[in-house]
Structure formats: C-alpha cells, structure tokens
Chains A and B, each alone.
Chain A
Amino acid sequence: GDSVTQMEGPVTLSEEAFLTINCTYTATGYPSLFWYVQYPGEGLQLLLKATKADDKGSNKGFEATYRKETTSFHLEKGSVQVSDSAVYFCALYSGNTPLVFGKGTRLSVIA
C-alpha cells in the first residue's frame, strides 16, 4: 500500500540555520505530495504541496520539490526562526484514501 517515510526527529537547530527534513514515499501511480505543520496546541495546517513531478511547492520560506526519480519530497528552509518550532508531516494523496501521513518530525529552533 501507499506509505510515507520521514526522518526521525527531533531535530534541533540554532536560529538562522539551514533546515532539511527528508521525506520519501511509496505509491501507485502519480500521487500528490504535501507538507503539513502542527504548531504546539494546534491542529495540522497545510504548509505546501506539489501535484506533479518536478513541481516545487513553497510557502513562508519553506520549499519542497517533487522528485519522481528518487520518490522524494524533502522540506527545506534556508534560515529557520524560533517560530518555526513545530511538528512537520509529509503526506501523499494517490486517489486511494484521503491522505497518507508520515510519522512527523519535531523541529526545535533555539535562539
């Protein structure tokens, strides 16, 4: 079945550091890919998405590129802030079920 694998956390970075959170997927066909973010005490909210190969999703300084050849959708940000501390979820939609999520990666950014 469809699945998403994310790097294990937690990830701890200093402010202004470069962030990469790895995400790879297994799916039939050509899924759409998403990153959701969950801030403390809140529900998940969509951060960015890409619906076809080579698309780049971007929002709030975060970017991720849909790489079909490596079945990956890694999340990157050039300079993280304390306010980026949250749990990040990679997810896919392939038409079989509403969304398939990864386990989430907790990011802590320290000043």
Chain B
Amino acid sequence: ETGVTQTPRHLVMGMTNKKSLKCEQHLGHNAMYWYKQSAKKPLELMFVYNFKEQTENNSVPSRFSPECPNSSHLFLHLHTLQPEDSALYLCASSQGLASSYNEQFFGPGTRLTVL
C-alpha cells in the first residue's frame, strides 16, 4: 500500500451504533488530520495530530472521538451520531504541520451514512 489509505470506504450506521474509521499513512509523515466534507459546504477541519499529540480540535461534538496511537495510524471513533453527521470523512497527512511547504496528502475518504 502506498500513500494514505482509509477503511472502510463506505459505512452505514444507526444512531445508536458505535463504529470506528481507520486511516493509515505509508509516507513517514508526522502530522495527521481528520476532515469532514459535506455537500455544498467547505471542507471542515476536525482534528489535527502532530507526533501523536492532538494540536487542534475545532469544536467537534464529543460523539466524535479521535485516537492516534502512532504517527502512521489515526482513528475516528463514532457513537450516537445524528443524521446530519452523514458526510465524507477524509484523512490527510503531512511531513510536518501543514504549511506553504508541507503538502497535505489525502486518503480517498469514508462515505458515512447515519440512519
């Protein structure tokens, strides 16, 4: 595998379920990100991790819980979600924190549907 991979690619869950999204990067990067992509809205940054430490949490509801056990893996744990949480969830990584020189590389995303 190369680049940034995400599993599963599609997920349908009920509001009472608990599920997890997984992201893995094979680029040797130190920073990882979760984004939410909804139709007709800008890409929303959710969480940022740098060297496994969370550096940013953009007022994300507690029903989304990130975990970064090492620099190569990032999880997003989901519980008691709402239908409006249905979206494409994108993972990204960069060598250092994203800047003019540290390009972000994105995974293909997980398409989440909450019923």
Contacts and interface: CB of A to CB of B under 8 A. Distances in A.
Contact of A101 (B43, B94, B100, B103): B43
Interface stretch (A13-21, A67-75, A78-86, A92-100): A92-100
A93 B99 CA distance: 6
Interface in A37-71: 41-46, 49, 51
Interface string A1-20: 00010000000000000000
Contacts of B33: 98
Interface string B52-65: 00001000000000
B56 A101 contact: no
B43 A43 contact: no
A86 B77 CA distance: 30
A89 B56 CA distance: 22
Contact of A98 (B41, B104, B105): B104
Nearest to A42: B108
A60 B70 CA distance: 35
B90 interface: yes
A43 B108 contact: yes
Contact of A89 (B43, B99, B109): B43
B81 interface: no
Contacts of A49: 100
A22 interface: no
B112 interface: no
A95 B109 CA distance: 26
Q: Which 5 A-B pairs have the closest CB atoms?
A: A43-B106, A32-B100, A98-B98, A101-B43, A44-B106
